[in-house]
Amino acid sequence: MLLLALDTATPAVTVALHDGSAVIASSSQVDARRHGELLLPAVDRVLAEAGVRLDAVTGIVTGIGPGPYTGLRVGLMTADTFGLALGVPVHGLCTLDGLAYAADIEKGPFVVATDARRKEVYWAVYEDSRTRRTDPAVDRPADIAEQVAGLPAVGAGALLYPGTFPVAHEPEHVSAAALASLAAEKLAAGEELPEPRPLYLRRPDAQVPKNYKVVTPK
């Protein structure tokens, strides 16, 4: 097994290689506006660090969000392209699950919350680092305060809204190393991973203007 994992659902552009036993190389850069520019160089860097060629990869793992449309699709399209070019399976994993897996919390329940912009968070509640209790959702922090009251929280969303998430833990952003480790663990146990389809949860920020003026000639 040689899994190439990547995620662009958060401001982190993150890539890792896992050989079935451990992560052998990884890279993470935080830049919310340069996912497309940073991802492929990160893949090259990780492959070079591990001393392997891309055609040695036996499977792709990609974070499926939830996340903003523009960033999330960069990772998903790259993963699909690699899968088609290499003829290897492409597996999805919820980005929140990767954060939960890497969380420094001994026992749950706890919350994972990432920044959804528009003064909202993407979030879910976990029983432990591998077990999600609720489906991913997007809400304003104040609207879910009662549901998450008293629970420790992980992620950038928790750090942004201490009024709702007063006990925040690392990590802030997801790492492909955690996604790769979780995927390798699940595959070794014979578990099925989700399809590599995006969890957008809401419409993209960019919208076609209403009542725009037609400028084409009649």
Span 189-218, mean pLDDT?
73
Helix (H, G, I), strand (E, B) or coil at 128: strand
> Please, which pLDDT band fits residue 108 given cuts at 50, 70 and 90?
confident
pLDDT of residue 70: 86
Nearest 10 degrees: Cα torsion 25, 107, 199, 145: -130
Helix (H) or strand (E) holding 84: helix 69-86
pLDDT confidence tier of residue 105, bands split at 50, 70 and 90 = confident
What one-letter code names the amino acid at 195? E
pLDDT band at residue 98, thresholds of 50, 70 and 90?
very high
Euclidean distance between CA atoms 25 and 134, whole angstroms: 32
The whole-number pLDDT of residue 217 equals 59
If pLDDT is split at 50, 70 and 90, which confidence band does 104 have?
Answer: confident
Asked if residue 121 has pLDDT above 80, the reply is yes
Confidence of residue 107 (pLDDT cuts 50, 70, 90): confident
Nearest partner of 200 among 126, 133, 117, 138, judged by Cα = 138
In contact, 77 and 105? CB cutoff 8 Å: no
Whole-angstrom Cα distance, residue 11 to residue 70?
11
Could you read off the pLDDT of 20-72 as tens digits, one per residue? 999 999 999 999 899 999 999 999 999 999 999 999 999 999 999 999 888 99
pLDDT in tens, 130-186: 999 999 999 999 999 999 999 999 999 999 999 999 999 999 999 999 999 999 999
CA gap 33, 196 in Å, rounded: 22
Region 7-19: mean pLDDT is 97
8 Å CB contact between 98 and 182: yes
Q: At what angle do helices 35-50 and 69-86 cross, to 10 degrees?
A: 40
Res 202 pLDDT > 90: no
Residue 143 per-residue DSSP state: G
